[in-house]
Structures are given as C-alpha cells and as structure tokens.
C-alpha cells in the first residue's frame, strides 16, 4: 500500500468510522441479559434504526463514489460540452437537466466541473440547471430512492419531477437575471458572450496531451476510497441525527409538525440543509420519516437537500459571486417548497 493509502487508513475519521460501527454491532449482539441494566432501553432502538440505515445505504454510497471518481478521471469535459453544441438558448435547459442520466455525480462533485465548463464557454444558466438537476436526476439516485421507497412510488416520481421542474425554473430565472453578467467570481461579463464554442474545442485539442492516457488501478482505488470516506462521514452524522429524532424526540411534537401543511415541508427542507447528506444516500434517511411527515414534506427533504446543503453552499460561495448564491438559495427554496406543497394538495 502506498503512502496515500496509509494516510487514508490512519485518518482519524476512518478510524472513528470503524470503531463506531464496531461498538454498535458489538452492543447489538449483547442484548440478552448480558448488557448492564444501566443502559437505557432507548439505546437499542436507536442502535437498530441507525444500523439499518447504514447497512442499507453504504452500498449506494460506494457506488456513487465509484462512478464519481471514474467520471472525474476519465470523462472529458469536451464530451459534456458537445452535448449542447449550437444550443445557447433557454430551450437547451431540458437536455442540460437530463445530463445526469449519463454523468451521475453528487452535489459536491458537480460544482467544480460546472465552473470549468462555464469558464470554457458553457452558457451559465445551463450550468446552473446542471448543478440543480444532476444530483437528483441520475440513475444512482433513482435506484437508491426506488429501493428506499419501494412501497411508496409517489415519492420516487415526485422527487424526479419536482427536481426537473425546479431546475428549469431556476435556470430560466438565472437566464433573465444574470444573462449579461458573469456569476463567477472575478468576472464582470458573462463568458458565454465572449467565448466561442470553437475556442473551447481548440483549447481541448491543445490540452489533449495533458490528459490521462492510461488507467492506473491503484490510484483509482485510492481516490474511490477517499471519496467514499469523505461522503460516508457526513452520512453517518446525518444518520445519527435522524436516528435520534426517531428514538428520543417527542413523537407527538414531531407528528404535529409533520401534520402541519405549512411547517412540514419547510422543517424538512431545513433539516436536509443541516444534515448535508449526499444525494445518493439521503433517501434512506427520508424513508425513516414515512408516516410522520407528508409525502410532499419528505420529497422536499429529498429535493432541497440534493440541491443545497451546508457543504455545497460553502463551495458555491467559493466559486460564484455572493449575489448569485443568495439568489440561487431563494429561487431553490421557493420553487421546491411551492412544488412540494402543490404535490400534497394534489394527493
């Protein structure tokens, strides 16, 4: 194992990850009169809920990390750009939103990719559509949501539909509000107004010799490991909070919030933002609230959290101008909340 691998295996988060799982599994096997009576009975409920989330979701986190690394390592940005060749208008937002079907990446991985594409001439409203839509409209998220909500397909298709409609609304708003102004930091004029598509291809041809031309299995596996543990640590934190909600939180208060047509979706959106769980595995957390919150509120959790959370908000501020980030936050909040309320009304 190389130096990178040793650093990863000795990383404090990696060690804590395995120790925490070991303790929970050990205690889960010692419930037949062996465990000290001082331990509250609620702990075993928490342990069961938490482990079920982890066991169900880790395969999807691993798949998401694997695909994300392969795309970032081996898929040329030129290929993504060619999908929109000749389509600068607002009509190109639909194929931009559906790009996730071919290039499934999570909300954190997509931001640096889109920044590079905008710098090379991709119309910025299309880039924002991709940032909003790709973390939801991709096969990995579809599969994990299908598995988590096998008995409730309304949430599965509601998530996909609302994510598509919200991303189109956000893209159209960005097109009209920032059409002549760059949303990137350090730029005053939109790149799409002064960088031609031809220059993009010339740049790609000039840079072709600098791209990876061989497959290095060891480096790829190390990057997958890094991506997996970086994602898993946030999911574990979210699973702990969700399990605590289910075990220790006042169920009557939680039910009253979930039953309130106005507070349900808003509170779940806030929870999704704070938990910052990857979109490839958040469905298992959302499924734990089934029966407490309405389908629209759970869908709001699944859609809003994939578009905006603490992690990618920090990344957005690092890449885009503050005015745009605040506008993006408002547009995303309003569109997701309104559509999820409409979903509950229709149901």
Neighbouring CB atoms inside 10 A of 154's CB total 14
Mean pLDDT, the chain, rounded, equals 76
Q: Is the pLDDT of residue 162 over 70?
A: yes
**Residue 5 lies inside a defined structural domain of this protein:** no
Neighbouring CB atoms inside 10 A of 42's CB total 11
pLDDT band at 275 (very low <50, low <70, confident <90, very high): confident
Q: Cβ-count burial of 92 within 10 angstroms (0-12 exposed, 13-18 middle, 19+ buried)?
A: buried
**Residue 199 lies inside a defined structural domain of this protein:** yes
Neighbouring CB atoms inside 10 A of 48's CB total 16
Of the candidate ranges 162-166, 170-174, 307-311, the one whose mean pLDDT is the lowest: 307-311
- Buried residues in 220-254 as b, exposed as e (16+ CB within 10 A): eebbbbbbbbebbebbbebbebbbebbbeeeeeeb
DSSP characters for 296-327? HHHHHHHHHHHH--HHHHHHHHHHB-HHHHHH
DSSP 279: T
Name the more confident of 222 and 106: 222
Q: State how many domains the chain has.
A: 1
* Residue 20, helix vs strand vs coil: helix
Name the more confident of 284 and 55: 284
Coarse DSSP helix, strand, coil percentages of the chain, rounded to the nearest 5 percent: 75, 0, 25
Neighbouring CB atoms inside 10 A of 259's CB total 13
Distances (CA, A) of 254 to 80, 250, 257, 264, 347: 44, 6, 5, 9, 21
CA dist 340 and 264 (Å) reads 10
For the question of whether the overall pTM of this predicted structure is more than 0.85, the answer is no
CA dist 241 and 235 (Å) reads 10
- Cβ neighbors of 128 (< 8 A, separation 6 or more) are 114, 170, 171, 174, 183, 328
Residue 271 structural domain: 10-30+43-208+235-242+251-346
Name the more confident of 55 and 174: 174
pLDDT at res. 130: 92
Of the candidate ranges 97-111, 221-235, 260-274, the one whose mean pLDDT is the lowest: 221-235
Decide if 69 contacts 227 (C-beta within 8 A). yes
Torsion angle in degrees (nearest 10) through CA of 6, 11, 15, 17: -120
Q: Which stretch, 56-70, 275-289, 299-313, has highest mean pLDDT?
A: 299-313
**Residue 198 lies inside a defined structural domain of this protein:** yes
- Buried residues in 156-183 as b, exposed as e (16+ CB within 10 A): bebbbebbbbbbbbbbebbbeebeebbb
pLDDT at res. 251: 59
CA dist 287 and 83 (Å) reads 35
- Cβ neighbors of 91 (< 8 A, separation 6 or more) are none
DSSP 213: -
CA dist 269 and 267 (Å) reads 5
């Amino acid at each position: 194992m190389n130096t990178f691998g040793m650093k990863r295996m000795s990383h404090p988060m990696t060690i804590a990850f395995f120790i925490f799982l070991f303790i929970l599994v050990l205690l889960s096997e010692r419930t037949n009169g062996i465990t000290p009576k001082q331990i509250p009975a609620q702990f075993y409920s928490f342990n069961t809920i938490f482990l079920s989330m982890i066991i169900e979701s880790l395969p999807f986190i691993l798949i998401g990390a694997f695909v994300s690394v392969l795309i970032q390592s081996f898929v040329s940005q030129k290929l993504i750009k060619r999908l929109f060749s000749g389509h600068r208008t607002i009509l190109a937002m639909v194929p931009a939103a559906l790009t996730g079907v071919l290039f499934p990446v999570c909300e954190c991985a997509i931001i640096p990719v889109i920044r590079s594409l905008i710098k090379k001439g991709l119309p910025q409203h299309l880039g924002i559509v991709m940032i909003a839509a790709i973390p939801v409209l991709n096969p990995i998220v579809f599969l994990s949501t299908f598995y988590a909500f096998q008995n409730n397909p309304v949430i599965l298709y509601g998530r996909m539909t609302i994510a598509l409609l919200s991303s189109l609304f956000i893209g159209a708003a960005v097109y009209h509000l920032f059409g002549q102004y760059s949303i990137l930091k350090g730029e005053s004029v939109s790149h799409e107004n002064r960088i031609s598509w031809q220059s993009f291809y010339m740049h790609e041809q000039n840079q072709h010799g600098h791209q990876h031309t061989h497959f290095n299995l060891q480096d790829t596996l190390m990057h997958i490991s890094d991506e997996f543990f970086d994602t898993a640590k946030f999911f574990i934190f979210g699973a702990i909070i969700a399990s605590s909600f289910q075990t220790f939180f006042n169920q009557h208060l939680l039910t009253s919030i979930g039953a309130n047509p106005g507070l349900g979706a808003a509170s779940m959106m806030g929870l999704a933002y704070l938990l910052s769980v990857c979109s490839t595995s958040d469905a298992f957390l959302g499924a734990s609230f089934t029966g407490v919150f309405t389908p629209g509120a759970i869908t709001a959790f699944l859609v809003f959290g994939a578009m905006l959370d603490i992690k990618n908000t920090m990344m957005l501020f690092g890449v885009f101008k503050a005015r745009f980030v605040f506008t993006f936050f408002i547009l995303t909040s309003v569109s997701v909340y309104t559509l999820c309320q409409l979903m509950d009304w229709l149901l």
